C-alpha cells in the first residue's frame, strides 16, 4: 500500500517561500492554502498532503507524529523545548535574524557591554534568557505573542527581542537593532518514527530538495 506523507507548513512568511520551493520539486497543493479555509490539503503528488498551521505548532505536530515532516523557522525550533525532532535540511529560505532592539533615543547613550539587568518584551523567552544568561546579564522577560515593537513605545519594556527581516518594522516604530542573537532560515524537520517507517519516501523528497538547493547554491 502506498504510504501517505503529511507535511506541516508554518503559516505566514514560511508558507510564502516554501510553496515555490515545493513546486520546484513537483509538489503543488491542489488548493491555494492562503485562500482555502481547508487545513488539510492534498497535493499534485498522490500520498503527500499538507497541513497548514501556526508556526509554533509545527514542532508539536511533527514530534507527536500528526505530521511526518514539517517546514518551520529555526527561531521556532530554538524556542521549542521538545527534543524528539530530527532536523534534516536547512532550506535557506525565509532568511532573517533574531535581534535585540531598543528605541533610537535609548540607543544614543547605550553601551551593550555595560548591560547588567534588562527588561525585555519578546515572544522568545527561552532564546532571550539563554542568550543573556550566557553573557551573565540578568533579564526580566515579558512574554508577548505579537507586535513586540509596541512594547517600548507603550512603556511595557525598554527593549525587545524579535525577528528582523528588512528592518522596516523597527524603523517605522523608531527602534534600532543593537545586538544580533542568531540568523534564522526555514528548516525541514522530521518525526523520528516516520523516518524509520517512511524513510524511503522522505529520503526521496529530501534528495530532490537538496539537489534543487545545490543547483541554486546551497546555503549550508
Residue numbers at the binding site for ligand PRP (CB under 6 A): 12-13, 146, 148, 162-169
Separation CA 158–CA 167 (nearest Å) = 18
Kindly state the greatest CA–CA separation across the chain.
Answer: 66
CA dihedral 66, 194, 190, 48 (to 10 degrees): -70
- The nearer residue to ligand PRP, 103 or 167, going by C-beta atoms, is 167
* Residue with smaller CB distance to ligand PRP, 17 or 212: 17
Residue with cell 533579564: 139
Closest among 78, 175, 57 to 128, alpha carbons compared? 78
CB of 168 to ligand PRP, least distance (A): 4
Closest separation in Å from C-beta 7 to ligand PRP:
20
Identify the bridge partners of residue 176 per DSSP, sorted by sequence position: 102
Per the rule left: phi > 0, alpha: psi between -120 and 50, beta: everything else, 16 is alpha
The residue with cell 498532503 is 49
Nearer of residues 14 and 188 to ligand PRP, judged by Cβ: 14
CB of 146 to ligand PRP, least distance (A): 4
Cα–Cα nearest to 191, from 47, 46, 60, 77:
60
Q: Which is nearer to ligand PRP, 63 or 149 (CB)?
A: 149
Instruction: Please identify, using beta-carbon distances, which residue of 54 and 203 lies nearer to ligand PRP.
Output: 54
In terms of CB distance, is 122 or 194 closer to ligand PRP?
122
Helix axes 13-24, 199-216, angle to 10 degrees: 100
For residue 194, the number of C-alpha atoms closer than 13 Å in the C-beta half-sphere is: 26
Minimal distance in Å, beta carbon 73 to ligand PRP? 9
Report the nearest approach of ligand PRP to the CB of residue 199 (Å).
33
Question: CB 144 → ligand PRP: shortest distance, Å?
Answer: 9
Q: 156 with 149: CB under 8 angstroms?
A: no
Amino acid at each position: 500500500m502506498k504510504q501517505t506523507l503529511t507535511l506541516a507548513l508554518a503559516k505566514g512568511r514560511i508558507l510564502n517561500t516554501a510553496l515555490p520551493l515545493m513546486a520546484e520539486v513537483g509538489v503543488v497543493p491542489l488548493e491555494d492554502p492562503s485562500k482555502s479555509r481547508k487545513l488539510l490539503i492534498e497535493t499534485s503528488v498522490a500520498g503527500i498532503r499538507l497541513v497548514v498551521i501556526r508556526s509554533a505548532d509545527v514542532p508539536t505536530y511533527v514530534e507527536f507524529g500528526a505530521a511526518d515532516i514539517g517546514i518551520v523557522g529555526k527561531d521556532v525550533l530554538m524556542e521549542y523545548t521538545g527534543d524528539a525532532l530530527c532536523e534534516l535540511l536547512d532550506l535557506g529560505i525565509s532568511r532573517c535574524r533574531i535581534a535585540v532592539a531598543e528605541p533610537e533615543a535609548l540607543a544614543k547613550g547605550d553601551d551593550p557591554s555595560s548591560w547588567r539587568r534588562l527588561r525585555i518584551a519578546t515572544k522568545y523567552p527561552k532564546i532571550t534568557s539563554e542568550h543573556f544568561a550566557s553573557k551573565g546579564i540578568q533579564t526580566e522577560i515579558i512574554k508577548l505573542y505579537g507586535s513586540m515593537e509596541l512594547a517600548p513605545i507603550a512603556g511595557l519594556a525598554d527593549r525587545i527581542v524579535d525577528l528582523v527581516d528588512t528592518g522596516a518594522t523597527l524603523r517605522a516604530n523608531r527602534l534600532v537593532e543593537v545586538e544580533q542573537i542568531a540568523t534564522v532560515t526555514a528548516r525541514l524537520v522530521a518525526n523520528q518514527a516516520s523516518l524509520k517507517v517512511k524513510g524511503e519516501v522522505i529520503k526521496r523528497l529530501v534528495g530532490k530538495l537538496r539537489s534543487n538547493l545545490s543547483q541554486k547554491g546551497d546555503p549550508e
